[in-house]
Chains A and B, each alone.
Chain A
Amino acid sequence: MVAAPFGYQRVSSFDEAVQALHERGEDAKVIAGGQSLVPMLNLRVARPEWLIDINPVGAGPIEEHGGSLRLPALTRHRAIEESEVVRRRCPILAEAAAHVGNVRTRTRGTLGGSLAHADPAGELPCVAVALGAEVTVQGPDGARQVAAGDLLVSYFTTTLAADEVVAEVRVPTLGQRSGWSFLELSRRSSDWMVVGVAALVELDTEGAVTAASAAVGGVAERPWLVPAEVLLELLGEAPEQALLARVAERAAAIVDPDDDVHASGAYRQRVATVLVRRALAEAAARATGNGSGAP
């Protein structure tokens, strides 16, 4: 186990990172937590000429602003998992962070790194897409905002230019009548998801659905957002099992997942049907304050 040689540059600001990337071009890679990149270096499947280490930039606190939480890109998974404000205001994000890898992965791994890595089976990208997270990307011309769903385009591929870095992630806080669910099926505890679902359901005081969103990981080249027209059927309705089952079936019918060593595409599709239904049910139950509602 030895990585191919590379040059190494530490930077202490995102501006400096952008400048370094700009100078080094395609042969440079940003290293944040390193939990996905370094295994690829060790196996010599990734062979950058340069590593730009952004860890010295550091992560400020997670802050609540208006209706959203602002998380610095270098916020570690463990910090999200244990953050008081995240647990209170956007618990689905804390739950998803708790599902990432093992304790060492969460100690080092970062939110920005997870999005930039764009693993279609990643927990945080899945939740970011369901939440409609906004990502602040810094480049040579300054900062731009991009929706998580537009940042993640394919397997390990983003719309980040070679000289751009993720600087911050903004997620909406969840309201009183909002419920959430993050469910995943993995072949082993705390392992990569075969399929994972992040769902949000908002109910009115009568118990009818006023808003819903869901993203599914592990079934497409990127976290797959269930189309609004499929979820439309829920609006104004009580979230009953038969309805949720119908919506879940319609949603999963759209995807055409690939096979891999852990599951066939057909099985993933089947599980997506089950988990979308269960996640919507659990989210709806939480929205009514009945958080223990059986999915």
Chain B
Amino acid sequence: MSDQSKQRVTLTVNGEHREAWVFPHESLLDVLRDVLGHHEVRYGCGEGVCGTCTVLVDGEPVSGCLLLAVQADGCSLVTVRGLAPAGDLHPLQACFLRNGAAQCGFCTPGMLLTAWALLQHDPRPSRERIRRELVGNLCRCTGYSKILDAVEEHAAEAAERTGGHG
């Protein structure tokens, strides 16, 4: 029911309804960046290895470079800019800022999204669990410690806010 010509895809990006006409060979990454203006989703390797193009697709982290845009038709996507209203920071982002977890910042959106998704499954992950979950988000600047610090700090704060066990 289709061919090489452009197809219409309908998506929700950060809560906003979007449509685009795309070729089947176009990746979600390229369409998000060049058609929909979401430059915060970044090209780093095209192999699904580096994690800079991480997008939440229906709540789960996915490599934007390995998903065809046509496959995302009907999906709900969240990029890092969807974590908090414009001009605001999500508390996890605030922890990244406070802990110096961003240096060059190129990996930061992917890190934030992967960590955010982890915290949905496991609100108080151990440092080891956070390490394992972040293995697919490479960072060349920080040595990861400050990223782990930030995720742990946010989880602790969130637990305190919700009266969870600390």
Contacts and interface: CB of A to CB of B under 8 A. Distances in A.
Contacts of B132: 189-190
A1 B46 contact: yes
A55 B2 contact: no
A190 B48 CA distance: 14
Contact of A107 (B3, B23, B62, B135): B62
Interface string A67-104: 00000000000100000000000000000000001111
A35 to B, nearest CB: 6
Contacts of B133: 103
A42 B27 contact: yes
A171 to B, nearest CB: 24
A39 B30 contact: no
Given A6-B25, A39-B46, A104 B1 contact: no
A155 interface: no
Given A5-B4, A108-B67, A42 B24 contact: no
A195 B48 CA distance: 22
B54 interface: yes
A53 B25 contact: no
Given A2-B25, A41-B25, A8 B2 contact: yes
B61 interface: yes
Interface in B7-50: 7, 23-27, 30, 43, 46-48
Contact of A4 (B25, B27, B47): B25
A105 interface: yes
Contacts of A39: 46-48, 66
B136 A105 contact: yes
B112 to A, nearest CB: 14
A159 interface: no
A1 B24 contact: no
B43 A1 contact: yes
A39 B45 CA distance: 9
Contact of A8 (B67, B68, B117): B68
B68 A34 contact: yes
A78 B67 CA distance: 17
A105 to B, nearest CB: 7
Given A7-B2, A9-B2, A35-B66, A190 B135 contact: yes
B135 A102 contact: yes
A1 B65 contact: yes
A38 B66 contact: yes
A108 B24 contact: no
B74 to A, nearest CB: 10
Contacts of A41: 25
Contact of A2 (B30, B66, B70, B137): B30
A5 B23 contact: yes
Given A42-B46, A107-B61, A3 B66 contact: no
Given A1-B30, A105-B136, 8 more contacts: A3-B25, A10-B1, A39-B46, A39-B48, A55-B71, A102-B136, A104-B48, A189-B132
27 contacts: A1-B30, A1-B46, A2-B26, A3-B25, A3-B27, A4-B25, A5-B4, A5-B23, A5-B25, A10-B2, A35-B66, A39-B46, A39-B47, A39-B48, A42-B27, A42-B66, A43-B46, A51-B68, A53-B68, A55-B71, A78-B60, A102-B51, A103-B135, A104-B48, A104-B63, A104-B114, A190-B135
Give 10 nearest A-B pairs by CB, closest first. Answer: A102-B136, A8-B24, A1-B46, A3-B25, A38-B66, A42-B46, A190-B135, A39-B47, A107-B60, A7-B3
